[in-house]
Structure 1
């Protein structure tokens, strides 16, 4: 359980009141409007959805992908073993062997390269989730202790009170929370742009094979 989990219950309670007040509309010209247009969600729903994101499963996925690399290392080692034969068939085999080794583990476009990139992306996402959850927890702690929270609670208990004050306070709280979530989603989009080239599907990088020869025998052994 992290800081966001501990603040989830009081935070969601406050944001439910905020969402209720905002359902009647936010003040004209408030800085909340661009955030609402961009996020397309009220802060209570946004935070509730974000609570389901945890770094541990992503970090575990990265470790699991890295374990797959060992299988490719074993296959590459088997293909690297010297073969005691010579002749046209041996040369053709050697060309195929080198091409397969290149496809398995040679550079970032190889299968191993793509696995390592996938694991790295999972780690980067785990770090993003952890950092974003901490930033959101700080934002919730800030709004829970704010004067606006007091006004929102008062407006929710007294429907006949000053509606404009309640709406303004709700808009302020919503803007603070959605601004933090907007930064978090910007970070996720940046990660995707950065990692996308390394996550593309790998393809077989064909080399032009030599023309087959039939003018020499194949010899087995040294």
Structure 2
């Protein structure tokens, strides 16, 4: 359980109250409006969705992908074993073997290269989730102990739920919403940046066929030294 998990219950309770007040409208010109338009969601629902993101499964996926690499190494080693034959058939085989080796494990566009990139992307996402959850936890801790939180809770408590205090707490609710949504906007900007950075190295590994020459049938094939 990380700091965000520990703050989830009181944080969601406060944000539920904030959402209720925002449903009646936020002050005109407040900085929360562009954040709401961008996120297309109220802060309570945004945080509730983010709580489902955990770094552990992503880090585990990276480790699982890396465990596949030795199998490719074994196949590559088998293909590099010397074959004691010569002639036209041997040359054609060598060309195909070299092409397969390139496809398996030669450079970032090979299958092994793509596996390593996929594992690296999973690790980067795990780090992003961990850092974003910590930033969101800090934001929730700040708003939970703020004077705005006191005003919002008072305005949405059952004994005091009258129109005047509810209206007066609209500004406080907007302030809390802006602080929370700003952190989430930064988090999602980070996710988009990661996708742009890693996207090219996650593309399909295309087969690079050997340059085929004209087959010859008039030359002998020699096996052995």
**TM score, norm. by length of structure 1:** 0.98
Report what 1:155 is aligned to: 155
Report what 2:221 is aligned to: 218
How far apart are residue 210 of structure 1 and its match?
1.9
Deviation string, structure 1 residues 96-143 (Cα, Å, up to 9, x no partner): 000000010011110011110000000000000000000000000000
Report what 1:61 is aligned to: 61
Report what 2:190 is aligned to: 187
How far apart are residue 211 of structure 1 and its match?
1.5
Structure 2 residue matching 1:117: 3-state secondary structure: helix
Residue correspondence of structure 1 range 119-198 to structure 2 within 5 A: 119-157=119-157, 158-160=160-162, 161-198=164-201
The answer on whether the counterparts of 2:156 and 2:166 sit within 8 Å (CA) in structure 1 is no
Report what 2:86 is aligned to: 86
Alignment: residue pair count:
222
Deviation string, structure 1 residues 156-191 (Cα, Å, up to 9, x no partner): 021224233211111000000000000000000000
Report what 2:205 is aligned to: 202
Residue correspondence of structure 1 range 5-154 to structure 2 within 5 A: 5-154=5-154
Q: What is the root-mean-square deviation of aligned Cα atoms in Å? A: 0.8
Unaligned runs of 5+ in 2: none
Q: 1:15 and 1:87 mapped to 2: Cα distance?
A: 76
Unaligned runs of 5+ in 1: none
Q: 2:18 and 2:46 mapped to 1: Cα distance?
A: 12
Q: 1:208 and 1:91 mapped to 2: Cα distance?
A: 12
**TM score, norm. by length of structure 2:** 0.97
